[in-house]
Amino acid sequence: MAILVCGGAGYIGSHAVHQLVERGEDVVIIDNLQTGHRGALNPAAKFYEGDIRDPKALDKVFMENRIEAVVHFAANSLVGESVEKPLLYFNNNVYGMQVLLEAMVRHHVGAIVFSSTAAVYGEPKRIPILEDDETNPTNPYGETKRTMEKMMKWVSRANGIRYVSLRYFNAAGALEDGSIGEAHTTETHLIPLILQVPLGKRDHITVFGTDYATPDGTCLRDYIHVIDLADAHLLAIDYLRKGGESDVFNLGNGHGFSVREMIETAKNVTGKAIKVEYGGRRAGDPAQLIASSEKARKVLGWNPHYADVAKIIGTAWTWHKKHPNGYAD
């Protein structure tokens, strides 16, 4: 039996495929390569170029392979873009999930591990954030992911599909050998943008807001290594294989690092000067997002290995140095 990875050519998807293949799983990927990269595809996985919104493409995959479970990463994931183009996000993310679940029902596939996000919480009422805290997304990206979770909940009750939803905090880093990593056509994430300065691709990094109610006035985020995230998917598959009930888990390290601390750490890791400018707040950025991942540790047995942000930034630096132009190199 195989694991179907939807979006296996993307950043987190390609790392999850790597870990699945390392463990000896049979892996099938479907990806429309809109934001994913051909160069990120694992040669040990069987690849279908196709869109999850196309029921015929899904039927072909489910008919040609014996799929045991689906791991679903195929979605648009940029907060700013989602504010400008909400319907793009509702179409690809929410409608995509509907078509995928319909295909799973048609083909009697009963388990799904879903890529969710801390953005489902919106502005948190308390820190660290727990899974049953209120969800009140402040942007369409978070709204679509929350809607996808709700869709799974009702489908699980009606059709018996069991799901695990993994709410990632700030995914970062790359596979240690630098062979796969983060490559977005429009980069908006802090660590890749910081590293573009020592790479000579950007003159400076702009800090978005210095007047937050945090120790140094800049936002605190919980950075979690992409391989630790990937490993949580393997544990979630094991959990569902053992008959575990549908559930939701936060994935983070449980420590907040400020934007200033991240820049200082990047200076140390790269050994290069990084020019900094200070700008206003970016709309929709909560002051702090820090996870409690106790539930994932306890129930899934998850034990993240990269608690040190210098190590996380170090793996990203290895990837970006080797591939300054992403998968074009």
Give the residue numbers marked as catalytic. Answer: 141
Q: Give a three-class secondary structure readout of 193-215.
A: HHHHCCCCCCCCEEEECCCCCCC
3-class state of residue 227 by DSSP: helix
Bond preceding residue 128 cis, omega within 30 of 0: yes
Count of residues that interact with ligand UDP, criterion CB under 6 A:
15
Identify whether the C-beta of residue 252 lies closer than 8 Å to the C-beta of residue 123.
no
> Which window, 15-23, 129-137, 176-184, 189-197, contacts ligand UDP (CB under 6 A)?
189-197
> Which residues from 284-313 bind ligand UDP, rule CB under 6 A?
285
Dihedral angle, C-alpha 296, 302, 306, 312, nearest 10 °: -60
**Contact residue for ligand UDP among 41, 174, 259, 312 (CB under 6 A):** 259
Which residue's CB is nearer to ligand UDP, number 15 or number 162?
A: 15
As a whole number of angstroms, the distance between CA 28 and CA 46 comes to 5
3-class state of residue 269 by DSSP: helix
Which residue's CB is nearer to ligand UDP, number 182 or number 231?
A: 182
As a whole number of angstroms, the distance between CA 80 and CA 139 comes to 8
189 touches ligand UDP (CB under 6 A): yes
Instruction: Give the per-residue contact string, 62-81, with ligand UDP (x = CB under 6 A; - = no).
Output: -----------------x--
Which residue's CB is nearer to ligand UDP, number 4 or number 205?
A: 205
Position with the least CB separation from ligand UDP: 219
For binding to ligand UDP (CB under 6 A), which residues are involved?
A: 79, 170, 188-190, 193, 205-208, 219, 221, 259, 282, 285
